[in-house]
């Protein structure tokens, strides 16, 4: 039976994505995502202080390296950019929940989410799992609260859980990008992370948008493999998937309100199509109403400000 329950948004439900780039210098605004920046390491604490002041309790970090390679080893080298950012944030803001994206696409020269061996055009599965484990470990060592594998490599949650446990990181959680669709809405993110594939697309490892059953299978698999939080991504065009997952599974459910969804709202507001605040609150409420416990959104900072004004 449908309950007549009112859905509300709290700042505690929000996770803010942060792009951290290697090196020092200026904060670069991402042209396709007005208001979102790539922060150099030396600016990340200042930005985070503002977030914490607004009551935001969690961030999801994306490292943007200067060097890329075929195997993406910059992702797990000693003192990689994401690990450095984690160390810094956990030292200054111990109560902040720091989550990190674990995927190779920003680190590989070909832009795919896994390792592609010379002469091949498909992802080498075992080598990719090893690389993802090393990446996750480097973040855990730096103090990450959650690692979030998003490469859609089969068994990635299980492999990372085992690697974390074997190295004494039993308390590091895993947020699986469980139901990650091969979506057109990731365009602006690929600008931000400089991670567009040089050839082909991600349809071999991300889900096709006409299918809902495989999303449920992926979520069930991630839970079995040890995910503490599961995710549906994107959010707005997938509210039915969120609802179904919320009905079926008890694990905390996150929904990723992705870069393209953000860009639409921002550009529409600029054109005078709608009031930004009203449309954002409507969208985020709909994602929560569908059943998400957590919403990862580039609007988090604005929402936190608006909630304070109330």
Contact positions toward ligand PBG, by CB under 6 A? 101, 103, 105, 113, 150, 186, 189-190, 195, 202, 258-259
**Cα 273–chain centre separation:** 28
Q: Least distance (Å) from ligand PBG to the CB of residue 61?
A: 11
Among the listed residues 68, 88, 180, 301, the single catalytic one is 180
Does 3 participate in catalysis according to the annotation?
no
**Which residue's CB atom is positioned nearest to ligand PBG?**
189
Does 180 participate in catalysis according to the annotation?
yes
Taking CA atoms, 207 is separated from 80, 101, 219, in Å, by 30, 19, 12
What are the residues whose beta carbons fall under 8 Å from the beta carbon of 1, sequence distance 6 or more? none
Q: What angle do CA 143, 228, 84 make, to 5 degrees?
A: 20
Nearer to ligand PBG, 167 or 221 (CB): 221
- At residue 210, the 3 state secondary structure works out as coil
Helix crossing, 44-53 with 300-309: angle to 10°? Answer: 30
Nearer to ligand PBG, 169 or 256 (CB): 256
| CA pair distance 219, 139, nearest whole angstrom | 23
Nearer to ligand PBG, 164 or 235 (CB): 235
Among the listed residues 233, 266, 288, 301, the single catalytic one is 233
What are the residues whose beta carbons fall under 8 Å from the beta carbon of 53, sequence distance 6 or more? none
Q: Least distance (Å) from ligand PBG to the CB of residue 166?
A: 25
Q: Least distance (Å) from ligand PBG to the CB of residue 35?
A: 14
Nearer to ligand PBG, 87 or 150 (CB): 150
Cβ atoms of residues 306 and 8 within 8 Å: no
Q: Least distance (Å) from ligand PBG to the CB of residue 4?
A: 33
Which residues are catalytically annotated? 180, 233
């Amino acid at each position: 039976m449908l309950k007549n329950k009112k859905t509300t948004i709290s700042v505690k439900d929000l996770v803010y994505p942060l792009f951290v780039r290697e090196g020092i210098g200026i904060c670069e605004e991402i042209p396709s995502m007005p208001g979102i920046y790539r922060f150099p390491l030396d600016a990340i604490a200042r930005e985070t202080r503002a977030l914490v002041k607004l009551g935001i309790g969690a961030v999801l970090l994306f490292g943007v390296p200067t060097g890329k390679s075929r195997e993406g080893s910059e992702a797990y080298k000693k003192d990689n950019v994401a690990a450095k950012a984690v160390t810094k944030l956990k030292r200054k803001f111990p109560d902040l929940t720091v989550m990190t994206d674990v995927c190779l696409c920003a680190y590989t020269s070909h832009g795919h989410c896994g390792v592609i061996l010379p002469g091949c055009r498909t992802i080498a599965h075992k080598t990719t799992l090893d690389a993802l484990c090393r990446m996750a470990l480097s973040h855990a060592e730096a103090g990450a609260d959650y690692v979030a594998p998003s490469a859609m490599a089969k068994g990635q949650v299980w492999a990372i859980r085992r690697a974390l446990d074997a190295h004494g990181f039993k308390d590091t959680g895993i947020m699986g990008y469980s139901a990650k669709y091969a979506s057109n809405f990731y365009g602006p993110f690929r600008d931000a992370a400089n991670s567009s594939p040089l050839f082909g697309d991600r349809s071999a490892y991300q889900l096709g948008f006409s299918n809902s059953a495989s999303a449920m299978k992926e979520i069930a698999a991630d839970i079995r493999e040890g995910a503490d939080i599961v995710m549906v991504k994107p959010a707005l065009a997938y509210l039915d998937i969120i609802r179904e997952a919320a009905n079926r599974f008890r694990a905390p459910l996150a929904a990723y309100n992705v870069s393209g969804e953000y860009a639409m709202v921002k550009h529409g507001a600029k054109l005078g199509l709608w009031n930004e605040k009203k449309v954002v609150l409507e969208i985020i409420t709909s994602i929560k109403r569908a059943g998400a416990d957590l919403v990862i959104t580039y609007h988090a900072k604005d929402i936190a400000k608006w909630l304070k004004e109330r």
